[in-house]
Structure 1
Amino acid sequence: MAERPERPGPDGRAGAGPDKGSPTPADPPRDPAALPPPRPLDAIDQDILRMLQADGRASIRSVAERVHVSRANAYARINRLVEDGVIRGFSARVDHERAGQGTSAYITLKIVQNTWRAVREQLRELPGASHIALVGGDFDVLLLVHTPDNRALRELVLTRIQAIPEVLSTRTLLVFEEQDLEPRG
């Protein structure tokens, strides 16, 4: 699911959309070639990023106060970070177990050479797929999934993933416990 980077809204919240703080519809993913070249972030930009990673709902006023700039400056900086593609969107951190997705697993895949893009698109459509990475090493792809239980995980791996013609093999690593790391500030 593609998320559109949202600009600060009129209510001053960094992740608010145009009408009374509600989210805006998702746009298709941006073409990386259309983005400006990466540039170094200064200390204020880095502080803003840490704040928004910890609380994507922080108001422009609170961001400005915490990083010691004017609200107009904070607003402009957040907009630039969005336009430059540094901020890809605003989202909620979910406790998957409490959301009924109590089984998590990393699945490694070996795939046919030069089929990454096709495989990636098929993996994106899988229920519970949370993170996909093309990696180097003993396998080609690392996939993080969240499912309601082991039976659903088994079904996902054996009937959905292994049915993808470009997938040569899989290995499933069951997650016993996980912890999202909070930004350090």
Structure 2
Amino acid sequence: MAPESDHPSRDERSTTARSGQTVASAAAPAPRPLDDADRRMLRELVTDARLSVRTLAERLHISRANAYARLDRLQSSGVITGFTARFAPERAGLATTAYVSVNIEQNTWRTVSAELAELPYVESIALLASEFDVLVLVHAPDNATLRSLVLERVQAIPGVLATRTWLAFEEIRGKGPFAQ
């Protein structure tokens, strides 16, 4: 029998942007395809996640019971992984934005990504098919904090072979797949 690989299967790669926790796994039921009402619901929630179910139902022209059922199904199937506020990093005191590429030892993805997810200032972590293995988005208060994070914390994680850091001068968010 072959040893278990530390690289996730395609079904295990669905992760939240903030926590890095797996939200879909091989054991989870396959989600049913989204219909038009599901996509409209996602569009409304992406625009304003604080909408009440009553307002959501009114905007979608469906009953509140249907809205509750759809919302519950989208959450339990892992399509909706949580609700969050978007923020402007620089206005929140996080003036330095960087992308950090990380090369790791083979079969260390799960342990390295779990350790990265626990570090302060880490926004997202992505496993890539690239010249480097992992890309980490960081929002830090300043360059000194970023330097300390990369050189003292990231490079100290067992399995990390090398890092490379790119400072971002400006970030622009796209509309996303469910925007109007």
TM-score using structure 1 length: 0.80
For 2:104, the aligned partner's letter is I
Q: Of the candidates 67, 74, 82, which is equivalent to residue 60 of structure 2?
A: 67
Q: Secondary structure of 1:118's partner?
A: helix
Q: CA deviation at 1:181?
A: 2.4
Which residue pairs with 1:109 in the alignment?
Answer: 102
- The count of aligned residue pairs is 160
Q: For structure 2, which runs of at least 5 residues remain unmatched after alignment?
A: 1-14
Residues 1:181 and 2:174 aligned together: yes
Amino acid at match of 1:68: H
2:123 aligned to 122, 130, 137, which one?
130
Counterpart pick for 2:92 among 90, 95, 99: 99
Q: Structure 2 CA distance, aligned partners of 1:136 and 1:91? A: 28
Does structure 2 retain, via aligned residues, the 8 Å contact 1:54–1:182? no
Secondary structure of residue in 2 paired with 1:32: coil
SS in 1 for 2:158: coil
Partner residue, 1:168: 161
The answer for the alignment partner of 1:7 in structure 2 is none
CA distance in 2, matches of 1:69, 1:154: 51
> Matches of 1:114 and 1:146 in 2, distance apart?
27
Q: Which residue of 2 aligns with 1:146?
A: 139
Q: Read off the aligned partner of 1:167 and give its amino acid letter.
A: V
What residue ranges of structure 1 are gaps of 5+ in the alignment? 4-27
Q: Which moved more, 1:65-74 or 1:145-154?
A: 65-74
- C-alpha separation in 1, matches of 2:145 and 2:133: 24
**Partners in 2 of 1:78 and 1:96 — Cα distance?**
29
Matched ranges for 1:15-94 at <5 A: 32-94=25-87
After the TM superposition, list the runs of 4 or more consecutive aligned residues in structure 1 that deviate by more than 6 angstroms.
none
Shift of residue 140, structure 1, vs aligned partner: 0.2
Per-residue deviation, 1:149: 0.3
1:97 aligns to what SS in structure 2?
Answer: helix
Give the whole-Å Cα distance in 2 for the aligned partners of 1:30 and 1:106: 24
The offset of 1:30, in angstroms, is 5.4
Output the TM-score relative to the length of structure 2.
0.83
Return the letter of the residue paired with 2:142.
Answer: D
Q: Report if the CA contact (8 A) 2:105-2:160 is conserved.
A: yes
- Alignment of 1:158 onto 2:151: yes
